[in-house]
């Protein structure tokens, strides 16, 4: 198998895992975390970058899987430059994201 194929299969598996993780978060958080951890592991092993929407589901500090409204808080800043503040409720790390407009 060539590298391109491996990357494609890995990307598919990561997407399925993240899907499952999102679904399980409300039923079984531990299971959800283990799906997400596995997805991260695959991405690192194959050395592919997760798409943006997936990357923002992981806390930059504690690396846990955080879902807005469940274990992370999202606030929209009212400053001139629009940004979102995301608070990880696992480690209380806050990070900002600029909204492109």
Structure tokens at 28: 């079984």
Nearer to Zn ion, 8 or 85 (CB): 85
Distance, first Cα to last Cα, the chain: 42
User: Within 79-98, which residues bind Zn ion (CB under 5 A)?
Assistant: 88, 90-91, 93
Q: Which is nearer to Zn ion, 77 or 95 (CB)?
A: 95
Choose which of 61, 75, 82, 96 interacts with Zn ion (CB under 5 A): 61
Q: In the complex, what is the shortest distance from the CB of residue 36 to Zn ion, in angstroms, rounded to a whole number? A: 13
Question: Which residue, among 36, 54, 45, has the nearest Cα to 10 in the 3D structure?
Answer: 45
82: phi then psi, degrees, rounded to nearest 5: -70, 130
């Amino acid at each position: 198998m060539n590298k391109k194929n491996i990357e494609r299969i890995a990307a598919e598996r990561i997407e399925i895992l993240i899907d499952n993780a999102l679904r399980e978060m409300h039923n079984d958080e531990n299971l959800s975390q283990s799906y997400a951890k596995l997805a991260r592991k695959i991405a690192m092993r194959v050395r592919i970058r997760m798409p943006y929407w997936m990357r923002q589901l992981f806390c930059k500090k504690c690396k846990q899987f955080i879902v807005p409204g469940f274990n992370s808080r999202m606030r929209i800043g009212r400053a001139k430059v629009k940004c979102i503040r995301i608070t990880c409720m696992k480690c209380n790390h806050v990070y900002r994201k600029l909204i492109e407009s």
